[in-house]
Amino acid sequence: MENIEIIRDKDLIMHKFLLKMASKGYSPSTIRNYSYVIVRFLKEFNLPDAKSIDDYYSRKSITKNSRATQIRILRSFGKYLEKEYQINFDLPEPPKTGRVLPIFLSKLEVSRILDSAVKNSRNFAMIAFIIFTGVRVSELVNLKLENIDLKAKTARIKGKGDKERIIPLAKELAEILEKYLENRDIISDYLFPSKYGERFSPLSVQLIVRSISEESGLKRKITPHKLRHTFATLALEAGVSPITISELLGHSSLNTTMKYTHVTNKLTEEAVNKIAELSNLRDHLKIKK
């Protein structure tokens, strides 16, 4: 291949690729995962073309879904090489995998985890915020006080690629946040800071959610992402359209039919209030300490 000389300095190209990912707003954990997959591949092959990828994975014993994920990563890297270095080669076709259904909590499990969280006002507000807004944990830890308007009952969320979206807060959730902030004795710009007033790490939030879910007696492992799935499921059960849910969750794209659809602020406001009403969030205000 005539352009193979251009990728002799693999470390430099990898560095540039990862910097580009960072500039697009990819999370550090995603960048680490990409780096791990690509570095291991480049130890054996020069280009992530269809043949080399097929040779590489024919010798590996991994699950079908893991293989599909890694091939998508290598395909993304291959597209970068094509564009930035004008290298033309055959990229692998996106692998097909079975659909994995999201894991979510039932309404009873939502109630139990909120009951367990209520003894700590910050944790209670934080878990309620995830369940009733569907934010990603990376979005949650970066939320600052200036991003929350309790009077307007809205939150300004910075999502992937630094894309911002405004989401409405259910009135019950706004009350929970107001009471939490009134009683908070930590000085910090962050909405949910650590006990030292610093930004939480995503791992810290994951550990808090896990601890509270275990305390509530739930047998399965609960993560912030499953709480996000729960928001989407409750929204569907409340009759909210998938288009509205996609807007609320900050998904980057819709299918061709839906991409022209605009969701009004009124629809999203009705959506979050329906979810809170369906899950009896107001009942938890009575036991909030």
- Out of 75, 112, 136, 284, which one is annotated catalytic? 136
* Catalytic one of 260, 262, 286, 289: 260
User: Which of 15, 79, 251, 282 is flagged as catalytic?
Assistant: 251
Among the options 122, 153, 228, 284, which is catalytic? 228
- 260 part of the active site: yes
User: Catalytic annotation on 136?
Assistant: yes
Please identify which of the residues 160, 199, 210, 288 carries the catalytic annotation. Answer: 160
Return the HEC string of the chain: CCCHHHHCCHHHHHHHHHHHHHHCCCCHHHHHHHHHHHHHHHCCCCCCCHHHHHHHHHCCCCCHHHHHHHHHHHHHHHHHHHHHHCCCCCCCCCCCCCCCCCCCCCHHHHHHHHHHHCCCHHHHHHHHHHHHHCCCHHHHHCCEHHHEECCCCEEEEECHHHCEEEEECCHHHHHHHHHHHHHCCCCCCECCECCCCCECCHHHHHHHHHHHHHHCCCCCCCCHHHHHHHHHHHHHHCCCCHHHHHHHHCCCCCCCCCCCCCCCHHHHHHHHHHHHHHCCHHHHHCCCC
229 as an active site residue: the answer is: no
Quick check: is 251 catalytic? yes
Catalytic residue among 158, 225, 274, 288: 225
Tell me which residues are annotated as active site: 136, 160, 225, 228, 251, 260
